A and B are shown apart, each in its own frame.
Chain A
């Protein structure tokens, strides 16, 4: 098929950006969206033009590197990562808009590549269990009810892509932060740091300049891993509990 692409081009963080238009032809419906962009880039290189920069790595939907807003939707029209989106979701003659994640906490590095290091700093603030190597008790010493283990897993699935932030009208990072808080706080191993974890991670999230949450729900709709909106409610409960407990001390 033949497509018209309107792509955000921005030379670097300090430069102004704008949408540029490109035509691509001979696109097969079996191609992934990123393979379609590969095709465009091969042509641009041979024409002596700068290829479109975009983040990608595993192309299996798990590393969380790819991050395109396609026709206004984070990761495009299907509920998946950009790398798992295939051209069969589009028709011959379509015009497709391709933009980077847009959020003040995710500044653009070049074209479609943004800086998501704020997510790393949120994890560094408390998204772990303090368990130095070698100090671990026998794995079966603590049984974990299957329902709790499943709840933890469901939240641990987050790939840190940032689609939740890109989709949110406020640019909030509540879904990302709550996914890690819920994963660890429900497990017995995470219990000793339960309060500090949620307080510190939320504080860091605010410091990074993410917006406030108004429970719009766009985040959960865009999430390629299906982290539920209820995750935010659970985190709010954890935060309230931790705040009250801190007040009593």
Chain B
């Protein structure tokens, strides 16, 4: 089965890799107690999604072998990377502040907003 998959690289293969990356990110977000770990999970989720964009923007999907604009998926992926960088900056600032206030970066301790 592995070999069958390895036969010819297609969009599906990229999607599978994207899904694995996404799942790894989600699991990382869900199980890491360290806030930095959670941030890393978020990066993984975003990159998984990016991979999907790039895959869907590839020429493989064009009917006549050409995509309408050619670079749609890549452009959106670039946006996502940009946003991820901004998000990481904000998130790291929050984390630092949290650390200053609580002397820890354990997200389980960050339950001040509980009902």
Decide whether A and B assemble into one complex.
no
Binding site for B on A (CB under 8 A): none
Binding site for A on B (CB under 8 A): none
